[in-house]
Amino acid sequence: MIIFDSHLDLAWNALNWNRDLTLTISDIRASERADPDPHKGANTVCFPEMRRGNVAICLSTVLARSTSAGRALLDYRTQETASAMGHGQRMYYEIMQRQGHLRLLRNAQELDAHVKQWLSRADAPIGCILSMEGADPILDNDDAVRWWELGLRVVGLSHYGLGVYAHGTSGSGGLTTRGFELLKAFESLGMIVDVTHLTDEGFWQVIERYEGPLLASHNNCRALVPGQRQFSDEQIRALIERGGVLGVVCDSWMLCPDYKFGKTDNEKVRLSHVVDQIDHICQLAGNVQHVAIGSDLDGGYGREQSPSDLDTIADLQKLIPLLEGRQYPSSDIENVMYGNWLRFFQAAWQ
């Protein structure tokens, strides 16, 4: 079964972590083994593993911030520098496309043709829909038009801390004045807005102000794992009412309540916890139309912070028998693995 993963930081891993994603997973791990960073040497994503796991499509991010968070390899002193770094990541995808590893998808026709090729088991590149995690690389409303023309189709206004356009995770405010202005530009373009990483205040502002398509590329449920980073049931229902889809995350701290970095035994976290998240959203929706996979694997971590029964992204296929064990029929499982995202983008791009 093919997989549509709605959140992978491919270019950020390649450029900021100097990681060659065309190599095998064993070669990448070996090349990083001597690195003192505890998150290196155990990565879970590369192009060969995506192919082995039948990951046919992903939302591939641009991630460069000009925020208050101040984290190395993410934050830049000026918005202009963040924009330049973002364009560098965009160019990485274009280079990978020229080399035949990836295929950038910009409209419903390209998406449909790509899926048909993968379902026919013909050799095909991995499909990528260009997304932006935190809108700081967009300099102004006119620049939003330029990014659209260059293929950007999904944007989240914030990431962590206070960005140019909104407060994000760990923040306490909503959208900035410029954030509301950017929403207007997005609406005229038909940009899909990703509500992931917004504060509660920012989330409800977007729900109330934005009439275009909304999704949550990588977000779990607060009812199962408390904390601001997850959505409340009320937020999930609001997104469902707007026709949105939520991609469930595989990051351990978003799957295990009271997870403590470096202290919690990661063996306690299993892919069954991912299924718990999927099932909770299905129960809120009353159907299986609004939940999918947004793994965020290698989002600044590796095996040490992923479900313990997942070695690489190819192991997302293990979700299929787990869902079967919860009595989900094959048609519903297909929706979770790829069908819901496919339907969402087909509708958003009409």
CB neighbourhood size of 163 (10 A): 28
Number of H helices, E strands in the chain: 13, 9
At 254-268, the pLDDT tens digits run 999 999 998 999 999
**The domain that contains 155 carries what CATH number?**
3.20.20.140
> For 335-343, what is the mean pLDDT?
98
Provide the residue range defining the domain that includes 295: 3-348
At 112-139, the pLDDT tens digits run 999 999 999 778 999 999 999 999 999 9
Helix (H, G, I), strand (E, B) or coil at 206: helix
The whole-angstrom distance between residue 76's C-alpha and the CA centroid of its chain comes to 22
Question: Taking phi first (over 0 means left), then psi (-120 to 50 degrees means alpha), and beta for anything else, what does residue 262 get?
Answer: left
- Which pLDDT value is given to residue 307? 98
Give dist(CA 135, CA 165) in Å, integer. 7
> Are 168 and 160 contacting, i.e. CB atoms less than 8 angstroms apart?
yes
**Count of domains for the chain:** 1
Give dist(CA 276, CA 74) in Å, integer. 31
> For 15-42, what is the mean pLDDT?
94
> For 217-240, what is the mean pLDDT?
98
Confidence band, pLDDT 50/70/90 cuts, at residue 332: very high
- Give the phi and the psi of residue 259 in degrees, each rounded to 5: -65, 130
Confidence band, pLDDT 50/70/90 cuts, at residue 88: very high
* Lowest mean pLDDT across 30-34, 214-218, 284-288: 30-34
> Are 163 and 134 contacting, i.e. CB atoms less than 8 angstroms apart?
yes
Give dist(CA 140, CA 13) in Å, integer. 26
- Which pLDDT value is given to residue 15? 96
- Global pTM value: 0.97
> For 315-334, what is the mean pLDDT?
98
Antiparallel, parallel or unpaired: β 126-133 and 55-62: parallel
> For 317-343, what is the mean pLDDT?
98
* Lowest mean pLDDT across 74-78, 155-159, 316-320, 340-344: 74-78
Calculate the dihedral angle through the C-alpha atoms of 257, 262, 265, 269, rounding to the nearest 10 degrees.
50
pLDDT at 157 over 70: yes
> Are 247 and 297 contacting, i.e. CB atoms less than 8 angstroms apart?
no
Distance set, CA 320 to CA 111, 144, 268, 336, 338 (Å) = 23, 38, 20, 9, 12
pLDDT at 153 over 80: yes
Give dist(CA 47, CA 26) in Å, integer. 12
- Which pLDDT value is given to residue 69? 67
